[in-house]
Amino acid sequence: METEIEQVRTEHHHGSHRHLVDIFDAESAPSWPGTVDAIVVPTIRHPSWLRHAVRLASALGCPLVSLHSKWSSAQLAAALMPSDVRFIAIDIDVDRLNLPDFRTTAMLNGTSFFRTTDLSAKRNTGLLLARLMGWRHIVFLDDDIEVGGHEEVARAAALLETYDVVGMHIGGFPDNSVVCHAHRLTGGHQDSFVGGGAVAVETTRSRSFFPNIYNEDWFYLLGEKSLHRLAITGMVKQRPYDPFDRLIRARDQELGDVLAEGIYWLLDKEEGTGWKGATDLAHWTGFLAKRKDFIEDVLSRVKQLPPGPQIERHAMESSLRAARDRLRRISPEFCVSYLKTWMKDRHRWAKHLARMPVLGTTSDAMKWLVKDGAKPLSWRSSMDAPR
Span 35-63, pLDDT tens digits: 999 999 999 999 999 999 999 999 999 99
Paired sense of beta strands 137-141 and 38-43, if any: parallel
Long-range contacts of 286-289 (CB under 8 A, 24+ apart): 287/258, 287/261, 287/262, 288/258, 288/327, 288/330, 288/331, 288/332, 288/335
Taking 90 as the threshold, does the pLDDT of residue 360 lie above it?
A: no
DSSP annotation of 39: E
- Three-state secondary structure string covering 142-198: CCCEEECCHHHHHHHHHHCCCCCEEEEEEEECCCCCHHHHHHHHCCCCCCCCCCCCE
Rounded Cα gap, residues 143 and 52, in angstroms: 8
Percent of the chain past pLDDT 90, that is, above it, reads 77
- Residue 1, pLDDT score: 37
Lowest mean pLDDT of 3-7, 117-121, 172-176, 287-291, name the range. Answer: 3-7
Q: Give yes or no for a contact between 303 and 316, defined as CB atoms under 8 angstroms apart.
A: no
Which amino acid, residue 235? M
pLDDT over 70 (residue 122): yes
CB contact set of 126 (below 8 Å; sequence gap of 6+): 40, 42, 65, 67, 138, 140
> pLDDT value at position 48?
95
Query: What pLDDT does residue 2 have?
Result: 44
Asked if 336 and 342 count as a contact pair (C-beta separation under 8 A), the reply is: no
DSSP string, 98-152: -----HHHHTTTTSTT-----HHHHHHHHHHHHHHHT-SEEEEE-TTEEES-HHH
Mean pLDDT of 129-146: 95
Q: CA 303, CA 104: separation in Å to the nearest integer?
A: 37
pLDDT confidence tier of residue 135, bands split at 50, 70 and 90: very high
Is residue 377 within 8 Å of 369, Cβ to Cβ? yes
Q: Given this model, what pLDDT does residue 192 score?
A: 86
Q: Who wins on pLDDT, 88 or 172?
A: 88
In angstroms, the CA 221 to CA 290 distance is 24
Domain coordinates of the chain in residue numbers? 17-355
Residue of higher predicted confidence among 274 and 22: 22
Q: Which of 5-19, 21-35, 146-160 has the highest mean pLDDT?
A: 146-160
Residue 4, pLDDT > 60, answer no
Higher local confidence (pLDDT), 318 or 308: 318
How far apart, in whole angstroms, are the C-alpha atoms of residue 33 and residue 350?
A: 30
80 by Cβ neighbours in 10 Å (0-12 / 13-18 / 19+) ranks as middle
Q: How confident is the model at residue 147 (pLDDT cuts 50, 70, 90)?
A: confident
What one-character-per-residue DSSP string does 335-379 give?
Answer: HHHHHHHHHHHHHHHHHHHHT------HHHHHHHTB-TTPPPPPE
pTM comes to 0.94
Report the Cα 217 to chain-centroid distance in Å. Answer: 3
Q: Angle at CA 327, nearest 5°, toward 325 and 331?
A: 130
What is the mean predicted confidence (pLDDT) over 276-283? 91
Does residue 352 carry a pLDDT above 70?
A: yes
Residue 235 has pLDDT above 70, yes or no: yes
Give the H or E element holding residue 233: strand 230-238
Mean pLDDT value across residues 145-169: 92
pLDDT greater at residue 146 or residue 260: 260
Which DSSP letter does residue 236 get?
E
Asked if pLDDT for residue 237 goes beyond 70, the answer is: yes
Q: pLDDT grade, residue 271 (50/70/90)?
A: low
The CATH number of the domain covering residues in 17-355 = 3.90.550
Q: What is the mean pLDDT of the chain?
A: 91
Residue 105 CA: distances (Å) to CA of 206, 271, 300, 329, 342: 21, 32, 35, 18, 9
In this prediction, residue 10 carries a pLDDT of 57
- Model pLDDT, residue 312: 82
DSSP reduced 3-state for 265: helix
Query: Checking DSSP bridges between strand 165-172 and strand 198-202, what pairing results, if any?
Result: antiparallel
